[in-house]
Structure 1
Amino acid sequence: MVLYIFNHSYTYTPYSLHWCWLKYEKKSLKFFPQIFLSLGVLFIASGLTGISLKWKQEWPTVPLSLQATGPFLQFGAVVALTLLSPLVFRCFLRSKNAGCKVLIALVFVVISAAIFLCPLLIHSPCLLSELPEKPKLIGHRGAPMKAPENTIMAFNRSVECGVTAFETDVQLSKDRIPFLMHDNGSDFLLRTTNVKQKFPDTHFSHSANLTWEELQSLNAGEWFVETDPFHTVRQLSEDEKKAAQNQSIPSLLQLLNLAKEHNISVIFDLYSPDQENDTNDTVRTILSSGIDPSLILWLPPDERDAVSLAAPGFIQVYNNLKEMLNKRGTHLNMKYSKLSTEEIRELRSHNKTVNLWVVNEPWLFSLLWCAGASSVTTNSCHLLRDMERPSWVMSPLQYRIAWTVVDAVAFLLMTALFIVQRKREERRQYFSLERIDALLTHRVDRD
C-alpha cells in the first residue's frame, strides 16, 4: 500500500507541477499589459515631476529640444519598438483570454502606428534645403567663461571670439559716472566683488551709494577664480588667472573706447532708480566718447523717445515684439524661448533683425541657426565661433526617404519575428501536450 502511494505520487507530480505552472503563467499573462502600462505611466510621471521640481525654468526649452532631436527620437523609438516586439508577441500568443489578446493587439497597433507615422507631425527648422547665414555672436558681459564678467579682460576675450557686439549692464555711481555691473538691488556688488571685505560694516543697495573712486577700489576678479562659475578656470594659464584676479569695475567709457577701437557694437540694459536723469547722463557719455552712433544698440525702453531725439543715430532695439511692430522698429532682442522658430523665420522674411539670448549650447545654437536668427547673445562665444555648420541639417526629401526606409525595415523585421515566435509557441504547445499525454498514459498503465 505504501509502495502504491509512493509510485502514484511520483508519476502524478510532474503533471501536477506542469499544470500549476500553466495556471500561474496564464494569470501572469493576464495582468502583464496592466503591469507594463502602470510601470510606464509611473516612469513618465516621475520624470515630469522631477523636471518640474528641479528644472522648472527649463520647461520652455523642452519644445525646442524636441524640434532639435525629433527626427532622431523617432528613429530610436522604431528601434526600441522592434526590440520589444518579441516580448509583446509572446504575451499575445500565450494569452488564453480573448479579451486580453484584443487589448494587447490594440495597444501594440496603436503605439506602432503612432511611432511609424509621427514624422508626418515632426517639424524641425533643420529640415531645410538651403541653410541661412550663421548667426552673429554677441558677447554676454564679455566672455564670462574665460574671464570675470563685465570686466575689460572679459570683453577683450570676446574680441578674440569675433563678436559683433558687446552686451553689458550699466548703472550710475553717486558722482554720475556710468559703470558696468549686472547685479543690482539687495545683491548689488555682493556676488562679483570683494565689497564685504572692503566695507564690512556697510550694506549697499544701489549704485548711487558709492562714488566712482570707491567702486574702483573694489576687486572684480578674485571671485571668478575662487568660485569658478562655469568650471573653466582650470583651462586658464597661471598668467591668465593672475590677470583675472586683478580686474576692477570698468566704466562705460572704457568699454566704448574698446568698442570704437575694434568697430564693435554695444548693447546694454540700464539699471536705474532715476531713469530720466540716468538716461541723459548715459547718452551724454556715449556721445562725448566719439563712437559711431550706429554702433550703439539702444535697448532700455524708458525714455526711448527722448533718446531718439537726442541721438537719432542710435539703433533702437526692442525687447517686446508688439512694441517693435507698433513703433515700426527693425531690431528685436528676446529670450530664445519667447519666440517660436516659425516666428523667427517670419520676422526674418520681413527683414527684421532678431537677436536671441542667452544661447550657450551648440544644439540650441544650431536650431536657431536653421531658423534664421540674426544673432545670439552667448556666454560661450569661444565654442560657437568654431562651428562651421549646425549639428545636423537634412533636406525634407532626405528625411522622408530615411523614415520611410526605417519604418519599412522595422515592419518587415517585426513581421518575421511574429512568424518565428508563433512557430515556437506552436512547437512548445505541441511538445507540452505530448509530454502530458505520455505522463497520463504512464499513470493509467501503472494503475
Structure 2
Amino acid sequence: MSPDESCCRVCSRGLYSCHWKHSSKTERKRACCWFSIVIMVCLLSLCWMYICLVTFNDQEEVNWNGFKTLKRWVNWFMVLIIIYAVVTSYCVLLLLFALFQVALEEPLNLHWLHKILLFFGVMFITLGVIGICVKWKDELPTVLLSLQATAPFLQFGAVGALTLLCSFVFQGFHTARKQWSKFLIAVIFVVVSAAIFLCPLKIESPCLIEKHELPDKPKLIGHRGAPMLAPENTMMSFNRSIACGVTAFETDVQLSKDRIPFLMHDHSTSFLRRTTNVIEKFPGKDFSHSTNLTWEELQSLNAGEWFLKTDPFSSVSKLSEEEMETARNQTIPSLLQLLNLAKQHNISVIFDLYSPNQKDDTVDTVNTTLSSGIDPSLVLWLPPAERKYVKRTAPGFIQVYNNANDMEGGNHLNMKYNNLSVKEIRELRSRNVTVNLWVVNERWLFSLLWCAGASSVTTNSCHLLKDMDHPHWLMPPLTYKIIWITLDIVSILIMTGLYIFQWKSHRFCCREGTERQRNDTLAWTEKELSPFLPTG
C-alpha cells in the first residue's frame, strides 16, 4: 500500500471530505473557508455547552416553565442537554478530522453532508441563545458568576490547547504562498495568544484567598425539604432533610377553603396538577385555586406517586424499596405538622405565602404559627405584604427581606444567588447581615458562595452539600500567579522551539525541491540534446 493510500489517510479523507481527487486552486480556497467555519462552529458549540452545564443548577426552572405551558412533566432540561451534547461532540470530532487532514497534507474539501449538519447545529445553538436571552434572562448572571469558579482552569486549558495546536498554525503559515496570508495568520495567532496568556490579569475569584481567610461553611436550608430524596413539601421530605443537618425548612404556604394553612408550591392554573393525583381524584372539579378544596379533600390526595413516576432529579433509583413505599403513600401536610416537627428538632421555618388575599391569609397563618407553641425566634418571616401587621402581632418572628434596599434596619436577607455580587455579599456580611442565597444545588456554586462568605444557602441537594468539608478549590493569589506565569513561559518556549523546527524543515524541503527540480531539468536537457552530441 502506497503512503498516499495508507489506512489513516483513507479514513481521514473519507470521514471529512469523501474526496478522492486533487482539488483545484479555487476549490482549495473554498476548502480553507469551510475549515475556518468548522473551527468557529466548534468553538461556539463548546461555549454553548459550557453555558448549558453551568445552568444545570437551575434545571428545575426550565422543567417548571415547560410544565406550566404543556401541563405535562418532562425533564426538558435533560433533553436539551443531550441534544447539545450530541451537537458539540459532532463539531469537535469534525474539527479533529480536519486537523488530521492538515497534518497529513490532505485536501480540506468538506463533504456537503457535513455542511448541512453544521448549519443545523448552528441553528440549534442560535435558538438556545435566543431562548436564554429572551425567556431566561435571569440566568445570564450565572454564566458570569461561573467564570469566577472556572476561569483560572479554563485559562490553563486554553494555554495547553494553544500549545498543542500551534504546530498546525505554523504549518499553515509556512505553506502560505502570499505575504498577506502569512501576515493575517501571524496577526490572528499573536492576538489570540496574547489574550490567552494575559487574561489572568482580569481574572477575579473569591476562592483566590489564603486558607486562613476562608469564611465558615454556609448553613443549609432544605428547599421544600429534601426534594431529591423524597417528594417535595411532604413530611417524608422534611424528615429526610433533618438527616442532612439543615438549620431551617423552606416551604410554601396556601390556605384551604376551610382556612387551614397547608404546604404546596404550585399555585394558580398549575395548582396540584404536578405533585398530586387531583385530576384523577376530582375529575371536572375546579382546582385552580387553593380555596376551591377543603382540607379534607386535600388530605385525600396522593402527594408522592408523581415523584416515583417522573423522577424529577433522577434520584429515585437510589432509594430503597422501603423508602419508595413510604414516598408512594405521602399526603399533603399542614403548616401545623411542619411547625411541630421544627419545634421538636429546634429547626427554623421560612416560607412564602401564595395567595391573592394576603391580608386574611397572613392573619390565619400567623395565628396558626403562634398557636403551635413554636419558639418565635425559629420563625423566619419572609412574605412582605403584611409585614407591619406581623411585626405588631408577633414581634418575636425574625423578619427576612428579599431586597437589601427594603431591610428597614433588619439584618436577614434572602435573595437568589446570582442577584448579589461577591463584593456585595462580603460588604453585607461585614455589616453583620445574615445572607441566605437560593437555590444552590451544584457543588461548584456552593464552593464559590462559601468562599464569598454567604451565611446559608437554600438547596435541593442537602445530602450532597453536607459532606463537603472544604470548597472544591482554594488557592493563594501568589501561588496562582506563579503557576500562571510558569505555564505561560513554558508554553512560549515550546511554541518557539516548534516554530524554529518547522521553519528549518520547511527551508530544507524547499531546498530539496529546488535541487530535485534542477536535476530533473538537467536530465531532461541532456536527454533532448543527446542525439546532437558527438559519441565516443
Q: TM > 0.5 between the two?
A: yes
Structure 2 residue identity aligned to 1:223: W
Shift of 1:230: 1.1
Shift of 1:382: 0.3
- Secondary structure of the residue that 2:369 maps to in structure 1? helix
* Alpha-carbon distance between aligned partners in 1 of 2:37 and 2:428, rounded to the nearest angstrom: 45
Structure 1 stretches lacking a partner, 5+ long? 1-20
- Confirm or deny: 8 A CA contact 1:26 1:95 kept in the other structure: no
Structure 2 residue identity aligned to 1:92: F
For 2:105, the equivalent position in structure 1 comes to none
For 1:52, the equivalent position in structure 2 comes to 129
* Alpha-carbon distance between aligned partners in 2 of 1:31 and 1:250, rounded to the nearest angstrom: 67
Query: Bigger shift: 167-176 or 101-110?
Result: 101-110
* Alpha-carbon distance between aligned partners in 2 of 1:104 and 1:24, rounded to the nearest angstrom: 22
* Alpha-carbon distance between aligned partners in 2 of 1:250 and 1:123, rounded to the nearest angstrom: 45
Which of 379, 384, 396 is residue 313 of structure 1 equivalent to?
396
Shift of 1:110: 0.8
For 1:6, the equivalent position in structure 2 comes to none
- Secondary structure of the residue that 1:219 maps to in structure 2? coil
Would you identify which runs of 4 or more consecutive aligned residues in structure 1 move more than 6 Å?
21-27, 30-33
Query: Bigger shift: 164-173 or 30-39?
Result: 30-39
- Secondary structure of the residue that 1:175 maps to in structure 2? coil
Structure 2 residue identity aligned to 1:49: T
Is 2:260 the partner of 1:177?
yes
Shift of 1:32: 8.2
Shift of 1:373: 0.7
* Alpha-carbon distance between aligned partners in 2 of 1:133 and 1:33, rounded to the nearest angstrom: 55
- Residues 335-378 of structure 1, C-alpha deviations (whole Å, 9 max, x = no match): 11111222212211221111111111111111111111111100
For 2:492, the equivalent position in structure 1 comes to 411
* Alpha-carbon distance between aligned partners in 1 of 2:273 and 2:298, rounded to the nearest angstrom: 12
* Alpha-carbon distance between aligned partners in 2 of 1:112 and 1:147, rounded to the nearest angstrom: 50
Shift of 1:52: 1.7
For 2:411, the equivalent position in structure 1 comes to 330
Is 2:166 the partner of 1:85?
yes
- Confirm or deny: 8 A CA contact 1:169 1:182 kept in the other structure: yes
Shift of 1:407: 0.3
Structure 2 residue identity aligned to 1:375: S
TM-score, normalized by length of structure 2? 0.76
Shift of 1:120: 0.4
* Alpha-carbon distance between aligned partners in 2 of 1:434 and 1:192, rounded to the nearest angstrom: 81
RMSD: 2.1
Shift of 1:203: 2.3
- Confirm or deny: 8 A CA contact 2:222 2:249 kept in the other structure: yes
- Residues 149-181 of structure 1, C-alpha deviations (whole Å, 9 max, x = no match): 101110000000000000000001111111001
* Cα distance change, pair 279–408 in 1 and its aligned pair in 2 (3 A): same
Alignment of 1:9-408 (within 5 A): 28=28, 37-44=36-43, 47=48, 49=126, 51-53=128-130, 57=136, 58-129=139-210, 130-324=213-407, 327-408=408-489
Shift of 1:53: 4.8
* Alpha-carbon distance between aligned partners in 2 of 1:78 and 1:45, rounded to the nearest angstrom: 18
TM-score, normalized by length of structure 1? 0.91
Shift of 1:96: 2.8
* Cα distance change, pair 386–23 in 1 and its aligned pair in 2 (3 A): closer
* Alpha-carbon distance between aligned partners in 1 of 2:25 and 2:176, rounded to the nearest angstrom: 9
Alignment of 1:419-430 (within 5 A): 419-430=500-511
* Alpha-carbon distance between aligned partners in 1 of 2:171 and 2:306, rounded to the nearest angstrom: 62
- Residues 232-281 of structure 1, C-alpha deviations (whole Å, 9 max, x = no match): 11111111111111111111011000001111000000011211111011
Larger radius of gyration: 1
Higher relative contact order (CA 8 A, sep 6+): 1
Q: Percent identity?
A: 63
Shift of 1:328: 2.0
- Residues 71-108 of structure 1, C-alpha deviations (whole Å, 9 max, x = no match): 00000000111111111112222223222222111111
* Alpha-carbon distance between aligned partners in 2 of 1:281 and 1:22, rounded to the nearest angstrom: 83
- Secondary structure of the residue that 2:240 maps to in structure 1? helix
Structure 2 stretches lacking a partner, 5+ long? 1-20, 49-124, 529-536
* Cα distance change, pair 103–210 in 1 and its aligned pair in 2 (3 A): same
- Confirm or deny: 8 A CA contact 2:286 2:292 kept in the other structure: no
Shift of 1:50: 5.2
